[in-house]
Amino acid sequence: MEFAKKNNIKMVETALGDKLDKWFEWKHPPYLLGGGVQFTPEEIAAKIKELYGDDIEPDPQAITFYIRDKFRPDMLKNVRVALTSANAIAADDGSIVICENSGNISLITRLAEKHIVAVGITKIVPTFLDACLVTKTLSRINKVSQAYISIIAAPSNTSSVQGKSVQGMYGAREVVVIFVDDWRKKAAKENLIYKDLLKCVGCKTCDFICTASRAFGNVFGSRYGLGATGIIREYIHHGIEAAVKAGLFLCTGCEKCTNWCPVGTDLSEMMKSLKKEATNKGLCPPPLEEYRSKILQDKNPFT
Ligand code: SF4
Ligand code: SF4
């Protein structure tokens, strides 16, 4: 963002939910159903009036059509670089697989001159077939459909003039993939508490069924996402105190996340290890600490 500002590059958010969060300067983790769901149609209509001076009906359909009419033409004319993530990258043929519902990603990645994909190294899977299985896992388990699945295997190209291969017909002339390691290789090499998170494909099933997420919503999560995965990521980047602040001890230890994970990520075990570390450092919330002491001393939490 800083680089874009300094170089006069206009960044445009294309996902509606994230656009709404930006408009309202939302500082908390997004809700489970997606960005922006916390704002009422009346609030959104009022915000549109405030930002663009337009009167629209406070109705989801009217709001969606307004956004489409207002921003789609600009996207069609002015997108130069598309910046996205990806859901899987096949090691055997380099295919990039991206799932979405709105069509904004497939639209801008075709329109841009350059498509940049920034993606964690854990999204690399052995074969194209594995990448397809990941997309199926994402769409089936948490019942959020993926209306569009894009497979990008190369820059747009043609060989129609005398058989000479030329890149950049109608789609992106250039596709750049940036692999992000960050904490991942270190976790594997040093067998760290959160190593099991390397298996995660991001399907969000653990959030949908989590006892704490259901009770506390986005209070149980961090800037990196909702639920246990968000809290573990907070720990990775900012340490145990930050994980406690993000709601570590709201986890009931019910193990539903582990039992429902389609790829066998043992989230509840990781949460247990983090609670142990927090408790050893004196970060356990006082009521729980009292409860623990009674169990240890009197073998009875109710004395
Ligand atoms: S931990 Fe498992 S259930 Fe949770 S998002 Fe990752 S893959 Fe899905
Ligand atoms: S063990 Fe914790 S994180 Fe996992 S489902 Fe239960 S409350 Fe949620």
pLDDT bracket for residue 28 (50, 70, 90): confident
Ligand nearest to the CA of 201: 1
- The ligand 1 atom nearest the CA atom of 202: 5
CA-nearest residue, atom 6 of ligand 1:
200
Tokens of 120: 């964690």
What distances in angstroms separate CA 225 from CA 37, 95, 213, 219, one per listed residue?
A: 15, 26, 12, 11
Residue 67, CB-side half-sphere exposure with 13 Å CA sphere = 21
In a domain, 225, yes or no: yes
Reported as a single tens digit per residue, the pLDDT across 138-167 is 876 655 667 889 999 999 999 999 999 999
In a domain, 303, yes or no: no
In a domain, 64, yes or no: yes
Length of the chain counted residue by residue:
303
Q: What SS3 string covers the chain?
A: CHHHHHCCCCCCCCCHHHHHHHHCCCCCCCECCECCCCCCHHHHHHHHHHHHCCCCCCCHHHHHHHHHHHHHHHHHHHCCEEEECCCEEECCCCCEEEEECCCHHHHHHHHCCEEEEEEEHHHEECCHHHHHHHHHHHHHHCCCCCCEEEEECCCCEECCCCCCCEECCCCCCEEEEEEECCCHHHHHHCCCCCHHHHHCCCCCHHHHHCHHHHHHHHHCEECCEEHHHHHHHHHHHHCHHHHHHCCHHHCCCCCHHHHHCCCCCCHHHHHHHHHHHHHHCCCCCHHHHHHHHHHHHHCCCCC
Mean predicted lDDT score pLDDT of the chain = 92
Q: Check residue 143 and give its pLDDT.
A: 57
Q: Check residue 41 and give its pLDDT.
A: 97
Domain end point (choices 78, 95, 129):
78
- Provide the domain limits for residue 62: 1-78
In a domain, 68, yes or no: yes
Do 127 and 206 lie in one domain? The reply is: no
Across 23-37, 136-150, 243-257, 268-282, least confident range: 136-150
Q: Check residue 141 and give its pLDDT.
A: 64
Which CATH number belongs to the domain containing residue 118 in this structure? 3.40.50.10420
- Say which residue, 142 or 187, is predicted with more confidence: 187
- The ligand 1 atom nearest the CA atom of 267: 1
The residue with tokens 């930006």 is: 22
Residue 164, CB-side half-sphere exposure with 13 Å CA sphere = 3
Do 30 and 91 lie in one domain? The reply is: no
**Which residues' Cβ are closer than 6 Å to ligand 1?**
200-206, 229, 261, 263, 265, 267
Q: Check residue 303 and give its pLDDT.
A: 79
Ligand nearest to the CA of 268: 2
Q: What is the pTM of this model?
A: 0.88
Ligand nearest to the CA of 210: 2
State which of 122, 134, 207, 265 you would mutate to test the pocket of ligand 1, scoring each by most atoms of that ligand within 8 A of its C-beta: 265
Amino acid at 302: F
Which CATH number belongs to the domain containing residue 274 in this structure? 1.10.1060.10
- The ligand 2 atom nearest the CA atom of 252: 7
Q: Check residue 146 and give its pLDDT.
A: 77
For ligand 1, the distance from its centroid to the CA atom of residue 12, given in whole angstroms, is 29
Do 200 and 290 lie in one domain? The reply is: yes
Domain end point (choices 137, 152, 180):
180
For ligand 1, the distance from its centroid to the CA atom of residue 204, given in whole angstroms, is 5
- Say which residue, 31 or 84, is predicted with more confidence: 84
Do 264 and 209 lie in one domain? The reply is: yes
Reported as a single tens digit per residue, the pLDDT across 61-117 is 999 999 999 999 988 998 999 999 999 999 999 999 999 989 999 999 999 999 999
CA-nearest residue, atom 5 of ligand 2:
210
Reported as a single tens digit per residue, the pLDDT across 193-244 is 999 999 999 988 999 899 999 999 889 999 898 999 999 999 999 999 999 9
**Which residues' Cβ are closer than 6 Å to ligand 2?**
210-212, 228, 251-257, 267-268, 271
Q: Check residue 140 and give its pLDDT.
A: 67
Least Cα distance to 279 among 267, 264, 295 occurs for: 295
CA-nearest residue, atom 2 of ligand 1:
261
Q: Check residue 144 and give its pLDDT.
A: 60
Contacting residues for 259 by C-beta, under 8 A, at least 6 apart: none
Domain end point (choices 180, 199, 218):
180
Q: In the chain, how many domains are there?
A: 3
